[in-house]
Amino acid sequence: MHSDEQRTTALVEAARAGDPHARDALVRAFLPLVHNVVGRALDGHADTDDVVQETLVRALDGLPALRDPARFRSWLVAIAMNGVRRRWRERLQEPLPGLDRAVGLADPAGDFTDLTILRLGLTGQRRDVARATRWLDEDDRELLSLWWLEAAGELTRAELAEALGLDPAHAAVRVQRMKERLETGRAVVGALDARPRCPDLAAALTPWDGRPSPLWRKRLARHLRDCRACGAGLDRRGLAPVEGLLVGIGLVPPLAGALLDAGTAPAFAAEPVGWAQPAGAPEATGGTEPTAVTQPGGGPEATGVAEPAAGHAAPYWTPGRRAGAAGVAAVAVLGALVLTLPGPDEPRPE
């Protein structure tokens, strides 16, 4: 077993035994990973911090039922994806927001792509890859959140497939299709950046509102295929493979301030782990094997982990838990900022 896996297993076992320091260490170690999975899947939506917090508390509460401590990371990622899907379903069921709810909407200028570029200092081709993700299909958002971390060395393909509830072969097919759309997005980004811009492309962009979308990706891709001038200026031979650009860039560090709750002081570790069982209810037994979770479109495509039933759980975000999560987040951010400082980036090919 890898040394990191051994350390994680030891922390999980200690946390299950009630060690508050082990619980804190688990949150510090895995908060950046959960933040990146949820943030990219929700594209930096205002609900991101809530889903991250909910994921971490659900994981700590569910530790006694985790059969294999060595599976903690893949189990945690699956919980995070379940939280993302729940939030998707809730958003689909909500009425259109009025002005009084506008404060909860995502800022179009502050999506997770911007955070990735800013906080990791991406430049050159790495920056263009991040920008190209804006042109992906909406259905690719969940897959992108996991594949980006696989390419960066933070997840394995087995963990990606497990989080999606797919077998490795099916996951590989979906990843390959998404990568093809991402490469098209890179070509579109390059064409839009070209100076001088192709006159025919400029004419085709007249009705465009300036927001990347799958529809406009397809329209612009057709132009790039048919236009000799654009084709000559988009020689892909000088571009590095996407995986090579993402290797080692690290995780986008979360901001500790996003998790702060003013006026709360109790420590996260001081809260007992476990959810409140109603009087007379049988004690939870068994493992946390994957169970079917319906996708927003209604299909049973992805699966997730079994979690405490909503009717049996005490409120997840007590003031103490929020304050504790903020405290360990501050430590995690400092470490993540050091680990994610980018190395020298490659120059853009001429």
Amino acid at 311: G
d(C-alpha 38, C-alpha 329), whole Å: 15
Distance between terminal CA atoms of the chain?
A: 45
- The reported pLDDT for the residue numbered 4 is 80
d(C-alpha 308, C-alpha 44), whole Å: 26
Closest CA to 105 of 38, 51, 43: 43
Domain extents for the chain? 1-108+251-350, 123-248
The residues of the chain scoring below 70 in pLDDT are 1-3, 91-110, 232-238, 255-350
Contact 116/252 with Cβ under 8 angstroms?
Answer: yes
Number of H helices, E strands in the chain: 14, 2
Environment class of 233 (CB within 10 Å of its CB; exposed 0-12, middle 13-18, buried 19+) = middle
Q: How many CA atoms lie within 13 A of 159 on its CB side?
A: 23
In this prediction the pTM is: 0.67
Residue 304's beta-bridge partner residues?
291
- The reported pLDDT for the residue numbered 281 is 38
3-state SS, 96-164, equals CCCHHHHHHCCCHHHCHHHHHHHHHCCCHHHHHHHHHHHHCCCCHHHHHHHHHHHHCCCCCHHHHHHHH
The domain 1-108+251-350 having CATH identifier 1.10.1740.10: the answer here is: yes
Closest CA to 304 of 23, 107, 16, 88: 88
- The reported pLDDT for the residue numbered 216 is 96
- The reported pLDDT for the residue numbered 280 is 38
Contact 87/304 with Cβ under 8 angstroms?
Answer: no
**H or E segment at 305?**
strand 303-305
- The reported pLDDT for the residue numbered 326 is 44
Residue 290's beta-bridge partner residues?
305
Contact 252/35 with Cβ under 8 angstroms?
Answer: yes
d(C-alpha 133, C-alpha 10), whole Å: 37
- The reported pLDDT for the residue numbered 120 is 86
Residues 17, 22, 27, CA angle at the centre, nearest 5°? 125
pLDDT tens digits for range 305-340: 555 443 333 333 444 444 444 444 444 443 343 333
